[in-house]
Each structure stands twice: as structure tokens, then as C-alpha cells.
Chains A and B, each alone.
Chain A
Amino acid sequence: MSLMSFIERYFRDRGCVLISPSELRIPEDIAKEIDLAVLDVKNIVVVKIIRDGLNRKLLLSAAMKAAVLREYADKVYLAAPMEYRLVIDGRVLSENGLGLLLVDESGNVMEVLPAKPKRTRRIPDAYAKAFSELEKQIEIIRRRFDELNAVVERVDRLMQEVEALRKEVEMMERELKEGRTRGGLVTTQVAREIEKEEELPSYLRDNPWLEILARRKED
């Protein structure tokens, strides 16, 4: 198995989820420096593997590149075979907040130096631009909302006035229909005579009481 696969297993065993460096939406020249990226809950952890070169210069160069990655990740590790341990300057890594993972011949991975978590992560340019645009939109919406609130208040006041006027008009209409004015009586309805027998209401048709009552005076 390769060094890479040992490190992948190490992070998987800790519940991390492997992600592709391209998913981080960071500049390509920086992304190519990442050998492994994982998501540890919400934190982005990236690893740069030192594969060859046993001299301090190469190690320092790798450390410098890894330090750049801290702009875009929460934790950054360097990973190297166990035999490199003698040439790695732990102090340089620690000062730059980098962690160190060493892998022995059996594939055991040891966290020799924990990475310092970064408090703020640099927002990728693509996101930053979108955020800025959103901020502008939110400001526009906020202003529109204030304007709308003022309109609603005005409409509420007008509705109250309309309701009061409507009631007044209804009352005046009813008074007119009922033939009343404040000065006296105005009749408005025209009574319709029931002309034919069949137009009589049901309770009047064939009602024996009509004859009985008509003879009241004679009884």
C-alpha cells in the first residue's frame, strides 16, 4: 500500500470524509499542492505529502507551500515517511501552525505534531464576489421593505376611513329605502297587487277561514 492510502485510512478511521481538492474552489496552482483533503465535521483539513528528498532545503520548501494552504483550510498537515523525522525541523512547522504526520513501514500513522486550527478561513474569490453581490441585494430588499411598511401603514389608515364612510353610506341608503328622512317620511316602495287567484300565497288558497272570518259580523 502507498503512503497516501495509509493516510487516507488514518483519516477515515477518525470519521473524516474524503473530498476532492477541486471541491474547495480555490485557485488551481494552490490546489495542486494538496495531496489529500478531508472534511472533519465542518472543518476542512488538507495534507501535503513529502515523498522524496532527504535534505532540509526540500523540506523547508514543502513547509512553505503548505503554509500557504492555511489560507484556505482549517488545518494543514505535512505527511512524510518515518525515516524523515531526523531532518524535519519541528519548530518551523509549529511556528507556521502546520501539523506533522509520520508513517512507519507498517503503515501506522502518528500525529507527531498537531495542526493549529485557523480561526478564519480565507473565502475563495468566487464566494467573496457572490457574498458581496448578496449584500447589495439585501440592502436593496431592506430599503424596499421599509418603503412597503410605510405604504401598508398608509393603506391601513385609508381602510379605516373607508370603513367609517361605508357604514355611513349604508345607513343613509337604508334610511332612503325605508322611506325615512330626518325631516319626515318619504315613501319609496310601490306595492304590487296580487291580481289572480293562483298568485295568492299558499296559506290563502282554499282556506276555510276566509269564509268564516268574512262572516264575523253576522255571527
Chain B
Amino acid sequence: MNIDAYRRKYAYGEDYGTSDFKFGPITLGEVPDIIENRGYMPDTSSIMYKITGEVKRVVVGPEIPFYLEAREDLTQRMVYPMRNGIVEKNDERAWSVIYEITKYGLQKHASKTSDFNGFYVTAALSIISPKYMYERIFEVHERVDEETGLVKAVTIIPQPLAVAIAQKKPTCVVLESGHGNTQISPISRYPIRRAILTINRGGNDANIITAEILKDNGYGDLAQEEKLVRMVKESIGLVPRDLDQAIQKAKEDPDRFRAVFKVPGTKIVIDLGENSWMRFLIGEYIFDPTHEIFESYWKRGMPRPRDVKVGDTIVSGVMDMADAIIEAVQRCPVELQPYLYREVLLSGGNFAWKVPEEMKDVVVDAAEKIKLMMDRKGIGGVKVTLTKDPQYSVWRGCIVYSVAVPDEYEWNWERMEGWLKLH
């Protein structure tokens, strides 16, 4: 396919993630620019404010540390605009941060060549983003373009579609699992919106059960520290091929499966000893919390993943991943279903589980786990793939979208695609 010469230079992608904002033009190649998705509201008595004489309401990107040094009220002034990919409709502080990071990115890559007349910008949002977020993101780009002339046209796509595009899979199911939830999005050239399923279970739920396990093993004081709990989860958490068998083997041979974690920079060593079998609960909880063993944790007060109501349907927070994929695929046309099962893409940090070489008979990675679960439900031949460079996938998909969608195809609110021309 011939790529328009202008867009070979001025295609631009934006991935609005909860933690990071990834952005930049096609000329960056394989890796986008990244800044944290946050903004700092400086106080007018700031030293930097006095030095620069500049009135900045919101500071973003690498400048933030220069404004932090004299600040004591960090939590009040530092704004993280997104929660699970969503910005609250009337949270003006959050929207001002979104405006600043958007403008920062575009200005950073502005070109002075004579042919430059603004970027073709594709922005990616969470697939569960409400319509107002689309409206506000368009408004942000309109405002930036009015001030700088840097946006020729803008469009918005859901992040799972961008993943499918970057992975070169026109028909697939994308599972995006983040901190707070997991979205299952069937895609066949378009995102099949009526089939999208969201489970209220993500990396944070694995943190919660890790904290309970720490408490049960006498490390209740350490369980209060969220960062430490996450480190423990990443270090000792494993996904079992079969939970019952894994527990049995670990109880028979605790030394082989022993879960030991030394807290970096301290003398603290966490050792689950005879209870090392509990490390399998951490991974299993993400994929299948329906096992009876988890009931005892909920009865003792551990928060249960909440159900989500979408339209008339309630999606259980404890639905296992295989059931969720099947449920989503079954909402698609019957003849499409076999093709969707052939390509399941796993994206997001919550699918990064390690497999120690010496435990390969018992431990599996996320892709293998999903495949096994699908097999047990009678759906064979499923190909599950962990996306390569998951952190850049969405941005890459945005670049492809910016390059390929025809210039004359204008934004359509019914189809939720096309270009919104700004100048």
C-alpha cells in the first residue's frame, strides 16, 4: 500500500494510559516518548515561579521535579487525572492535566519544515471510556490547535483496537488487564462494541490477596505497604497449571516451591516456609477466583471483586477469564466465533507472570493458563499470544491508524471513527 507522503512524516499517536502518557510522531520509529500521566499545580510562592517569572497553572513532564523541591503538600498539588483509564466528567483539575500533557507532547515534536501543517493525531482511550471523554479529548485538541496550529486532524480509537492493529491481527480477542480491571474486546476489523466485557478484577486484586497471605504468615505489618506488597506479588506469585495439583505438590515438597523474598535494601526476609503453596493463590486469583479456597479469604473480610452492571447485564467480578472470553465471543455472530478463538491477544502488565525453569511441570505463563482453561471448557485450538512490547503496542497501533485512515473520512459519532478536521 502507498502511504501518503505527508503522513509518513506527520502521523502522530497518543496513548492515554492510567499511569503513563505515550506520544509522538511516526518518525520516532519503534518507541514513543513517555511521560507520567500526572500534573503538578504549583503554588505562586514557588521558587521556580519567582525565578522564571512564568505563570504556570499546571506543570507536566520532566519539569515537575523542579517545582517539587519546596513543596510539602505534594498529595494535594499532584494530580493523577485517570482512574482505570477514566477521567471524571467534571474533574476540571484532571482535565487541565490532560490538556497540558497533550499540548506538551505536540509542542515537543513540532516541526518547522515549510510543508508542516499540523499532525494527524490518533488518540487511544480505554474501551470503557464514556462518550463525554471523547468529547473532552476532541475539545482539548481543538484548543491546542487554536493556540499552536499543531493538529491538522484528530481521531480517537479504543486501546484494544490499537493493540490488534499493532499486532497485525484483524480478527482477534484482545484481553487488556490493568491495575483495576480486565477488558475483553472481540475485534473483527472493528471493535465489536456490544460484545465487549469488563471484569472488575486486575493487578490490584492480586495485590489484595498477596497482602492477606502476608498477614496469614505473620507479616501483617508489611502488608500495609502497597509498594512492598506489589514487589512480593511480582517476586513470589505464580500461576499454577492446576491449582489443586500445585498445592498438593508444594505441600509434599515445600523446599522445592519455597517462597522467599528479601526486601531490597533491608534485612527483612519474607519466608512462607511450609505455607509456600500459597504463592499459587496469587496467580490463580487473577485467572480463576471461583475455587472454593478463596471463599475463606472473603469470609474473613478480604474484599471480593465487585460485579459490573453494563446495561441489563451484570458481569460477576469473580467470573473466570475463560468464561469471560467465551461470554464475549458468544455475543458475536456465530460464524465469526471460531476465528475469534484462533487469536486471543493478552496485553497489559497483569499478564506478565514468570515461570521458573525448575517448576515448569506445575507453573505456566498467562497465555498457557488461558489456553488450558479454554481446553477444560471444551474449546480447543485456541491460540493465545502475549503481546510483544505491551507498553508500546497501543501507540504503535495509533500510528498505523493515523497513516492509513483516508483523509476525507470524517468523524462519525455513530460509527465512532473518522477524522475530526481542525484546520
Contact = CB atoms under 8 A, between A and B. Distances in A.
Interface of A: 164, 167-168, 171, 174, 177-180, 182, 185, 187-195, 200-204, 206-214, 216-217, 219
Q: Which 8 A-B pairs have the closest CB atoms?
A: A213-B404, A187-B112, A191-B111, A217-B409, A203-B396, A187-B110, A209-B165, A191-B9
A171 B62 CA distance: 10
A177 B109 CA distance: 9
17 contacts: A167-B66, A179-B107, A189-B112, A190-B111, A191-B10, A192-B9, A200-B3, A201-B396, A202-B30, A203-B166, A204-B403, A206-B168, A207-B168, A210-B1, A212-B170, A213-B165, A214-B406
Contacts of A217: 406, 408-409
A212 B1 CA distance: 11
B148 A212 contact: no
Given A174-B63, A203-B166, A216-B409, A210 B107 contact: no
Q: How large is the interface on B (under 10, 10 to 19, 20 to 34, 35 or more residues)?
A: 35 or more
Given A179-B110, A191-B111, A168 B400 contact: no
Query: Interface on chain A toward B: helix, strand, loop, or mixed SS?
Result: loop
Contacts of B25: 191
Contacts of B113: 190-191
Interface of B: 1, 3, 5, 8-10, 25-27, 29-30, 48, 51-52, 54, 62-63, 66, 104, 107-113, 116, 147-149, 164-166, 168, 170, 189, 396-397, 399-401, 403-406, 408-409, 417-418
B417 A188 contact: no
A191 B400 CA distance: 18
A189 to B, nearest CB: 5
A44 B233 CA distance: 71
A180 B107 contact: yes
A37 to B, nearest CB: 55
B400 A185 contact: no
A99 B299 CA distance: 92
A209 B400 contact: yes
B418 A216 contact: yes
A217 B405 CA distance: 8
A212 B30 CA distance: 22
Contact of B399 (A167, A203, A214, A216): A203
Contacts of A168: 51-52
A197 to B, nearest CB: 9
A152 B112 CA distance: 48
B111 A216 contact: no
Contacts of B396: 201, 203
A203 B404 CA distance: 13
Contacts of B29: 201
Contacts of B409: 216-217
B241 to A, nearest CB: 33
B111 A187 contact: yes
B110 A203 contact: no
Contacts of A219: 189
Nearest to B189: A212
B160 to A, nearest CB: 13
A207 B404 CA distance: 11
B137 to A, nearest CB: 20
B359 to A, nearest CB: 33
Contacts of B9: 191-194
Nearest to B409: A217
B413 to A, nearest CB: 15
Nearest to B165: A209
